[in-house]
Structure 1
Amino acid sequence: MDPLPLDADFLFRMVMTVEGAAIGQTPAGDRRVGLVTGGHFSGPATKGVVLPGGADWMLTGPDGATRLDVRVMLRAEDGQLIGLTYTGIRAGPPDVLARLAAGEAVDPATYYMRTALRFETGPGPLEWLNRVIGVAVGQRPPQGPIYDVYAIR
């Protein structure tokens, strides 16, 4: 049997601003928390703002990779609220990851940053998001994370 195709539709680009806080070394690894302070998103599916108050609980393990665990709230231009939950991985060569950690601008082609997303929203024009799985290709410039978000068909 041939594998089934995996198709995706581009939904939007999400740009977030975050403030960092370091918990530090824990039994599970190096724990940092990025507090979401705002942002915006725009694309063929919808556009709007990223509301302040979300957080990214990042855990860097002994392999140098950072596991992302994020919850944020979006407000579409028409006022519809969208809960967004995603997990992911940021990994790459140690020197590239060290430059990212130092807040330097790094070419996103030199590291791996991918996430799996779930949406939650109420009745309205974006209700269909409740029934899709999203994936995103991310990058981490000094100003905050940027994600190109896709719906898997």
Structure 2
Amino acid sequence: MKMAGIETLSWEPLFVMRLDVAYDRAHPVGGENRRGIFPVVGGTFEGPKMRGRVLDGGADWVSWRGDGTMLIDVRTALETDDGALISMQYTGLSTPTSPEAAARFARREPSPYEDLYLHTTPRFETAHAKYEWLNRVIAVSNGMRTDDGPMYHVFAIT
């Protein structure tokens, strides 16, 4: 339904990001939400306006709801190929779309986008003049698990 005066949302691709997660160094904190801390130890990103690497030192502070939904809370840093440092923080959720998808996810097997409802809302912060525009971007992503770990397609809402 179209309403008078209401515009549609548009988007443009920012980059594709692949993360290296040290699952073997995870910290199972536990508690009511079964929290776990998963170190992000690297990765890459590449898009039309920027490319580079994900720095070691980030982490995903995951928790799980009773219905099996994983709540994602990541803080990490990006370094562009021209030396800019960019802080990236995103929250979101991931939930399997079927019992079979849930079993593959539990075994850390690669899965297509259709296996998971995996979406996040990245935010960025930088002082680098070339990428300062990122400080004013609202972004969304969709993700999946590959052989090498998580992969996200990140889009700017325009």
- For the aligned pair, the TM-score class normalised by the smaller chain equals over 0.9
Residue pair 1:86, 1:116 contacting (<8 A) in 2 also: yes
> For 1:96, what is the secondary structure of its paired residue?
helix
Counterparts of 2:144 and 2:95, CA distance in 1: 11
Letter in 2 for 1:10: P
Residue pair 2:112, 2:145 contacting (<8 A) in 1 also: no
1:108 is aligned to 2:113: yes
Unaligned ranges ≥5, structure 2? none
Residue 19 of structure 1 corresponds to which residue in structure 2?
Answer: 22
Residue pair 2:90, 2:123 contacting (<8 A) in 1 also: yes
Mapping of residues 28-107 of structure 1, within 5 Å: 29-92=33-96, 93-107=98-112
Q: Deviations over 1:12-35 (max 9, x none)?
A: 1001100121415312x2222220
Residue pair 1:64, 1:94 contacting (<8 A) in 2 also: no
Residue 129 of structure 1 corresponds to which residue in structure 2?
Answer: 134
Letter in 1 for 2:130: P
Percent of residue pairs bearing the same amino acid type: 41
Counterparts of 2:18 and 2:69, CA distance in 1: 22
Structure 1 length-normalised TM: 0.93
Mapping of residues 5-16 of structure 1, within 5 Å: 5-16=8-19
Counterparts of 2:147 and 2:65, CA distance in 1: 22
| Paired positions, count | 152
Counterparts of 2:146 and 2:105, CA distance in 1: 8
> For 2:19, what is the secondary structure of its paired residue?
strand
Unaligned ranges ≥5, structure 1? none
Q: Which runs of 4+ in 1 moved over 6 A?
A: none
CA RMSD of aligned residues (A): 1.3
1:120 is aligned to 2:131: no
1:104 Cα offset (Å) = 1.4
Structure 2 length-normalised TM: 0.90
1:85 Cα offset (Å) = 0.4
